[in-house]
Amino acid sequence: MGAQEREEGAVSAGVRREIVDAAARVIAERGESASMADVAAAAGIGRATLYRYFPNREALLVGLTSAALADLTDNIAAAELDSVDVLEGVARLSRAFFRSATRYAALAHMREKYLDKPAELERRVLAPVRELLQRGIDSGELREDVPLELHVEVLTGLYERVIRLVVDGRLGAEGASALVTSVFLRGVGAGRT
């Protein structure tokens, strides 16, 4: 591959990334009613360019969901949940989710419908969440009388609700992370009612 081909590939990847980021913003704000024209306008490109990269709406949504999952997976891996106690792990996990707030909001809207491989969401995102929370139950740091799946539902439900505050600009990512962490740990922390 020559220098010109590498440069064209880099430009192409950059445009694709900008389209996906614009789609994430638009879908986070408007939900699935966002149109391809809305995405093109948000990306600062023409519709023909958008269709060159994503031939239809479904291809765009699959691409966005894949990018959101990759971003969230990277953030969770970078949190190094296994290297800290459970309470710090929940705080790190919250920061990981809110670091990519717009993409996660879009993923929350569409995950079942446009995720290429739903098992990937389970393996790459929900499994680390379950492992952390199970460790908390086993150590007594989280309530043992609450089943693991309810812990998972409550925490991920908080993420999905509070993400709206971030997308709407009413709360920053750090504030959202702190809010979810404290609400969750006060509700399910051992010895709390």
User: What's the 3-state SS for the chain?
Assistant: CCHHHHHHHHHHHHHHHHHHHHHHHHHHHHHHHCCHHHHHHHHCCCHHHHHHHCCCHHHHHHHHHHHHHHHHHHHHHHCCHHHCCHHHHHHHHHHHHHHCHHHHHHHHHHHHHHCCCHHHHHHHHHHHHHHHHHHHHHHCCECCCCCHHHHHHHHHHHHHHHHHHHHCCCCCHHHHHHHHHHHHHHHHECCCC
* Record: fold of 3-188: Tetracycline Repressor; domain 2 (1.10.357)
**147-157: average pLDDT:** 95
CB 92 within 8 A of CB 80: yes
Give the whole-angstrom CA distance, residue 100 versus residue 163: 10
Which of the pair, 155 or 110, is modelled with greater confidence?
A: 155
What is this structure's pTM? 0.79
> What does the pLDDT average to over 95-102?
84
- List the domain boundaries for the chain: 3-188
Place 168 in a pLDDT band, splitting at 50, 70 and 90: confident
- Over residues 38-96, the pLDDT tens digits come to 999 999 999 999 999 999 988 998 888 888 888 889 999 999 999 999 999 999 999 99
Closest by CA to 114, choosing from 53, 39, 64, is 64
